[in-house]
Chain A
Amino acid sequence: MDRRDFFKILSTASTGVMTGACGKKVDRYLPLLVSDSEITPGEEAWHPGVCGQCEAGCGIIVRVMEGERVVERKGELFRERIATIKKIEGNPLDPVSGGRLCARGQAAVQGLYHPDRLRGPMRRQSPRGHGDFALVAWEHTLSEIAGKLQHADPSRILYLTRPQAGTRALTAARFLKAIGAPPPVSFELADFPLELKAAQEVYGWNDLPVYDLRNAVYALGIGADFLGGWASPVFYARQFGHFRQGRTNVRGKLVHAESRFSITAQSADQWVPLRPGTELSFALALGHLLLSEKLARAAAPPQVLEAFQAVDVAEAARVCGVAEKRLRQVTRELGESEKPLVIAGASIPHTNSLAAVKAAAFLNVLLGNAGKPGGVLPPAVDPTGSRPAYAANALAQIERAQFLFLDGVDPLYTLPASTGVAEKLARIETIVSFSPFLNDSAAYADLILPDHHSLESSAAVFTPVSEGMAVATPFVHPLYDTRATEEVLAELAKKMNIEFVAATPKSAMEKMLPADQIWDAVVRQGGFRTEASREASKPPASTTLGTTPATFFGDPSQYPLHFLPYRSLQFDDGRSAHLPWMQELPDPVSSAMWSLPVEIDPQTAAKLGIKNGDRVRVESAYGKLEAPAYVDPAAAPGVVSMAIGQGHRHFGRYASNRGANPLSILAPAWEQETGALALGATRVRLARLGPGGGLVQFAVVDREAGPWGHR
């Protein structure tokens, strides 16, 4: 089945007829898992799946063809023909990806065939963190873990995982319930605890709001880098393309307010550079002006109106570092637009970001666009209700844990050293990691039980963008002696004599499928979508809006600069740094490859004598790092930023011991109401260390200034 036939199938799937490789009609479905012995050289097959690179859950299609690998049997090398994955593209039927895919999603195939993937279960051979592991056998290892679990205090068993709703989360929750342990906990940078809580308190929705940018006419982004590493980059980039040039006679205008010149700010028609942590003042001032200029179209709860009305606009403008005239102009454009939309989020949370996101979301309430085309739409209802909750007290839980499961997370990398996470991990009696790679946290584990790659596993994944779920089934046999984590949990339960059934895509979706829907057809299309279950809008009658300014850590006289680490499109929270394509993908702004620079504004750079490519030290009251400098003409004065991604101690040959991790020097600062890590709350100082910082750039313009001249 080639790509064109795949589309034919999609149109005929419900009737149970498909087209075979040579255009012959075949009245049965081919099995999805391509048998290695049956694969025909030169013939391709496209299968649907779900991207596992981030929580956006894009539907994908995967090209499977013949490949050859060398295996060792009894000391002799043999060539073995296997089905291999050649390329990943977006699934045109998927409402999230719409047939498109980001760079990271496409690079997932390198995770599958990465030379440093773990080949089987591993046992630690040296002190925690050193990273020496040896292969062990599954049977014995599982018995040992089951024994330890049986003797552990169930309340001190902790399961740290990603915030994605679906069969994995459902299975983990069931397992933990069966052994009497607390439910799985999510604790990472991609959790969106702020945006989730704000959605609940403003609109009464239980998941992330869906912004109908596609149909909006005027969009104002506040703090949400929605074209970059926030929420669902492919979905919003698709919406953005249409917003700009997809309609006759309507070109959407985007204004973006953020402290960094993020990829969203770069694509905007106007960027409003806010001083770090002043998103709240900005949103409050806009609310005040919407009300005072009589541009509000709907009412908000009385306490919120009071908070808006109490704002001194001139003072707010001063705090934000934005001219009052500009505030008034943005308000007028927003208020007078036929279809205005505010996209609210906190890509770089500060200590008061919940209030900021709520205030920005209340602008949508004032504009009356909730639930309307071009406005903010309610999320779909999660049929499994399985999204692991964000735990503000996860650090305390790690501290008291006796037994820790690490599933898809790397807290040692994503948490600042000042939180003492390394010491806390070191004290845990038993740590079991399901990571397919040796990463910083897995190096602390006693046992690593590598999970299959997402392209070798089955899963159903829920995303708030659409009703229903995306479904993946394995299309190739596991390359190594790995096991699906669902399967491992089932075996552990069996060894512990506990009744437990792992969730499968079919079982998770059974209830939502109409009687006439064939499961094979669901699998063939990569999921099932229905239009039945959007959340009802039930805004709470009363809610308060905090007005506390953000606090920063570090004495301003010693640490004069704001430090903003951010999640980039390439690396997200650092989880994609092991993929060579991502390492060599030039950073969109600095054009850096195989390295990530500290982005410094020209004024600060001139004052300190820093030039592009110099080696600089960034120092906070909590730690220091060294990295190359990139003097960014668009950086706001006094704001230093750096993409998260490098600085792994262990993460395969392409990422280990490369560059620095900006998260490592942050203060242990948290958003005051949700406990999200306040990425932007740390102050730093800079020092130039000398030339030759190791900045490798691809851009010809910058490279021609170097010693090598033209390519």
Chain B
Amino acid sequence: MEHRWGMAIDLDRCTGCEACVAACHAENNLPLSDPAEAEKGRAFHWIRVDRYYEGEFPDIRMKYMPVLCQQCEDAPCEPVCPTYATYHNAEGLNVQVYNRCVGTRYCGNNCPYSVRFFNWFEPEWPEPLELQHNPDVSIRPGGVMEKCTFCIQRIQRAKRDAKAEDRAITDGEVQPACVQSCPAEAMTFGDLDDPESKVSRLAASGRATRLLEDLGTKPKVFYLQRAK
């Protein structure tokens, strides 16, 4: 395995501004919802910002927590897919192959983080809104499951660039769209197998935790808790 991609999110920096959410929509051609579909719980946000009230008025604080696919090492979504549409790739990513997906939604049912989204409706972009589409990312048809890919197209691109220049990918060279956009610089992406990478160092920090760690899913997203 060349790399093991992971992310660290510093909740002490995160302000809940949702720049990451918009970045993800722009990068990954997420389908537009409408109020009726959204009301049925069918809107798409591969990354969302959960909020937790801490304390009671007037001594109240808010904790914001961006939640995306945790790219679990032992992913509950993978073994239940009858068509191998969701599988573990060599770099530890939970990859979704749209062409194989037949829409059983077992994976979504099994995901404890609610980060998988089913295309309940055919995506529509009234002309000329489709001009904004990122050509690096395919449009998903109705009836298939989709989710955060850690911007695999950006990873591939970095690999190609590095290969063309006959060098290794440098730390920080790959940035998923959410990480790239974050104004508070709360998010860090990199190779967890490289002990010198920034993400590895953050993951080893005393503030690092993982979401629903007790489920044994071994997520590759680390949350650095807010300092007291």
- Chain A residues with CB under 8 Å of chain B are 4, 23, 42, 65-67, 69-70, 84-90, 99-104, 106-107, 109-110, 112-115, 227, 233-234, 237-238, 240-242, 244-246, 251, 261, 263-264, 266-271, 273, 479, 569-570, 580-581, 584-586, 588-589, 591, 593-595, 601, 633-637, 653, 658, 694, 696, 698-701, 703, 706, 708, 710-711
CA of A234 to CA of B165 in the docked complex: distance in angstroms? 34
Which residue of chain A has its CB nearest to the CB of B185?
A: A241
Collect the chain B residues with CB atoms within 8 Å of residue A699's CB.
48, 50-51
Tell me the smallest distance from the CB of B205 to a CB of chain A, in Å: 10
Q: Do A107 and B41 touch (CB < 8 A)? A: no
Complex contacts, B48 vs chain A, CB 8 Å: 586, 698-699
Q: A100-B181, A233-B183 are in contact. Are A698 and B134 (CB under 8 A)?
A: no
Interface residues of B in 47-61 (CB under 8 A from A): 48-51, 53, 56-61
Given A234-B183, A711-B41, answer yes or no on A113-B56 (Cβ-Cβ < 8 Å).
no
Q: How far is the CA of A286 from the CA of B118 in the complex (A)?
A: 54
**Per-position binary interface string of chain B over residues 26-41, scored 1 when its CB falls under 8 Å from any chain A CB and 0 otherwise:** 1100001111001111
Q: Complex: how many Å from CA A593 to CA B16? A: 15
Q: Is the CB of B132 within 8 A of A86?
A: yes
Chain B residues numbered 165-195 whose CB sits less than 8 Å from any CB in chain A? 165, 177, 180-186
Given contacts A86-B134, A87-B132, A588-B64, 19 further A-B contacts (CB under 8 A): A84-B131, A87-B177, A100-B183, A101-B19, A106-B22, A106-B181, A233-B17, A237-B17, A240-B184, A241-B185, A270-B59, A569-B17, A581-B32, A584-B45, A595-B35, A636-B57, A637-B57, A696-B35, A699-B51
Can you report 7 residue pairs joining A to B where beta carbons are below 8 Å apart? A70-B127, A84-B132, A100-B181, A106-B22, A266-B15, A586-B18, A701-B50
CA distance in complex: A4, B186 (Å): 22
Q: Inside 8 A of A479's CB, which chain B residues have their CB?
A: 128
Closest 3 CB pairs of A and B: A241-B184, A266-B62, A103-B22
Determine the chain B residues whose CB is within 8 A of the CB of A584 once the complex forms.
32-33, 38, 43, 45
Which of B14, B49, B50, B132 has most chain A Cβ within 10 Å? Answer: B132
User: What residues make up the interface of B, taking CB atoms closer than 8 Å to A?
Assistant: 10, 12-19, 21-23, 25-27, 32-35, 38-43, 45, 48-51, 53, 56-62, 64, 108-109, 114, 117-118, 126-135, 161, 164-165, 177, 180-186, 224, 227
CA distance A123 to B42 in the complex (A): 40
* Chain A residues in 8 Å Cβ range of B50: 699, 701
B62 A110 Cβ-Cβ under 8 A = no
Is B15 in contact with A273, judged by CB distance below 8 angstroms?
no
> Across the interface, do A601 and B57 meet the contact criterion of CB distance under 8 Å?
yes
Smallest distance from the beta carbon of B211 to chain A beta carbons, Å? 13
Asked whether B18 lies within 8 Å of A634 as measured between CB atoms, the reply is no
Are B131 and A634 within 8 A (Cβ)?
no
Closest to B42 in A: A711
Closest to B27 in A: A87
Q: Which of A270, A585, A635 has the most CB of B within 10 A?
A: A585
Q: How far is the CA of A267 from the CA of B21 in the complex (A)?
A: 18
Q: How far is the CA of A417 from the CA of B67 in the complex (A)?
A: 41
Contact yes or no, B57 A110, CB < 8 A = no
On chain A, the residues within 8 Å of B186 by CB distance are 241
Report yes or no: B53 in contact with A4, Cβ–Cβ below 8 A: no
**Which residues on B sit within 8 Å (CB–CB) of A100?**
19, 181-183, 185
> Given the complex of chains A and B, what is the CA–CA distance between A88 and B53 in angstroms?
33
What's the Cα separation between A518 and B35 when bound, in Å? 51
Give the distance to chain A from B183, nearest Cβ to Cβ, in Å: 4
B31 to chain A, nearest CB (A): 10
Q: Which residue of B lies closest to A700 (CB)?
A: B114
Asked if A696 and B38 sit within 8 Å, CB to CB, the answer is yes
Contact of B60 among A23, A67, A271 (CB under 8 A): A271
CB distance from B105 to the nearest CB of A (A): 9
Could you tell me the distance in whole angstroms from the C-beta of B81 to the nearest C-beta in chain A? 17
- Among residues of B, the one whose C-beta sits closest to the C-beta of A273 is B58
Given contacts A588-B16, A593-B43, contact A113 B129 (CB under 8 A): yes
Whether A267 contacts B15 by the Cβ 8 Å rule is yes
Residue of A with least CB distance to B120 = A711
Which residue, of B42, B50, B62, has the highest number of chain A Cβ atoms within 10 A?
B62
Are A241 and B60 interface neighbours, CB within 8 A?
no
A257 to chain B, nearest CB (A): 11
CB neighbours of A264 from chain B (8 A): 15
Q: Which residues of B contact A87 (CB under 8 A)?
A: 26-27, 132, 134, 177
CA gap between A700 and B117 in the complex, in Å: 13
Q: Determine whether the beta carbon of B39 is less than 8 Å from that of A273.
A: no
A102 touches B58 (CB 8 A): no
Q: Across the interface, do A244 and B132 meet the contact criterion of CB distance under 8 Å? A: no
Contact B62 A88 (CB under 8 A): no
Q: Nearest-CB distance from A230 to chain B (Å)?
A: 13
Given A110-B129, A238-B184: A594 and B15 within 8 A (CB)?
A: no
Contact B21 A634 (CB under 8 A): no
Decide if B181 touches A101 in the complex (CB within 8 Å): yes
Q: How far is the CB of A586 from chain B (nearest CB, A)?
A: 7
* A601 cross-chain contacts in B, Cβ below 8 A: 57
Residue of B nearest to A70 (CB): B127
**B227: chain A residues within 8 A (beta carbon):** 244-245, 251
Bound Cα distance A227, B221 (Å): 25
Q: How far is the CA of A591 from the CA of B51 in the complex (A)?
A: 9
Judge whether B132 and A261 touch: CB under 8 Å: no
Complex formed: what's the CA distance from A273 to B58 in Å? 7
Closest to A264 in B: B15
Pick the contact of A588 from B41, B49, B60 — CB < 8 Å? B49
Distance in angstroms from A604 CB to nearest chain B CB is 12
Which residues of chain A are near B34, meaning CB under 8 Å?
594
What is the CA–CA distance of A245 and B206 in the complex, to the nearest angstrom?
14
* Neighbouring B residues of A261 by C-beta, 8 Å: 60, 62
Report the separation of the CA atoms of residues A69 and B127 in the bound assembly, to the nearest whole angstrom: 9
**Smallest CB-CB separation from B177: which chain A residue?**
A87
List of B residues within 8 angstroms of A234 by Cβ:
19, 183
- The closest CB in chain B to the CB of A237 belongs to B183
Contacts of B161 in A (CB 8 A): 4
- CB neighbours (8 Å) of A245 from chain B are 10, 12-13, 224, 227
Determine which residue in A101, A107, A234, A264 has the highest number of CB atoms from chain B within 10 A of its CB, and name it: A101
B113 to chain A, nearest CB (A): 10
B15 touches A263 (CB 8 A): yes
